[in-house]
Structure 1
Amino acid sequence: MELKLAVAEDHIDELNKTIFRQQQRLDLLQAQMRELHRQLHAAAGGEVSNPHDQAPPHY
């Protein structure tokens, strides 16, 4: 019984570490997305247009 509890605690610790790493990665990806959005907004002169409103390049 004690062995099962120890194994379960180890699994919980590993899952907690995995969740922590995933949250760090999500935080990084969100920061990168914000930076890309800022750069896109700056490159468009403050206007970010909807790509669906633009004519395809072959016109």
Structure 2
Amino acid sequence: MDSAHDTDRRLTALEIKASFSEDLLDSLNALLARQQQQIEQMAAQIALLRQQAAGQDAGPFRSLRDELPPHY
């Protein structure tokens, strides 16, 4: 009789662990989906910034040292 009780206790413990593992997996999946959305939004923003930068005067590269204030 003690063996059956021990088996039931172990089975219950395994079911609890499986339940927590499943919950954790669902939480991580939701987090990963949110991160993917953020990555896609940032990639779109970068693409927009590149388009805006390309649309501006595409003159030669100028160093910030070339643009010293007049009092220097």
- Scaled by the length of structure 2, what TM-score is found? 0.65
Q: Any gaps of 5 or more consecutive residues in structure 2?
A: 1-13
The Cα offsets for residues 1-59 of structure 1, whole Å up to 9 and x where unpaired, read as 10100000000000000000000000000000000010010012xx37556x674545x
Q: Any gaps of 5 or more consecutive residues in structure 1?
A: none
Extract structure 1 runs of 4+ deviating beyond 2 A.
47-51, 53-58
The reply to whether residue 27 of structure 1 matches residue 27 of structure 2 is no
The reply to whether residue 3 of structure 1 matches residue 16 of structure 2 is yes
Q: Residue type of the partner of 2:38?
A: R
Highest Rg: 1 or 2?
Answer: 2
Which one scores higher on RCO, CA 8 angstroms, separation ≥ 6?
A: 1
The reply to whether residue 41 of structure 1 matches residue 54 of structure 2 is yes
In proportion to residue count, which structure has more helix?
Answer: 2
What percent identity do the matched residue pairs reach?
Answer: 27
- Scaled by the length of structure 1, what TM-score is found? 0.77
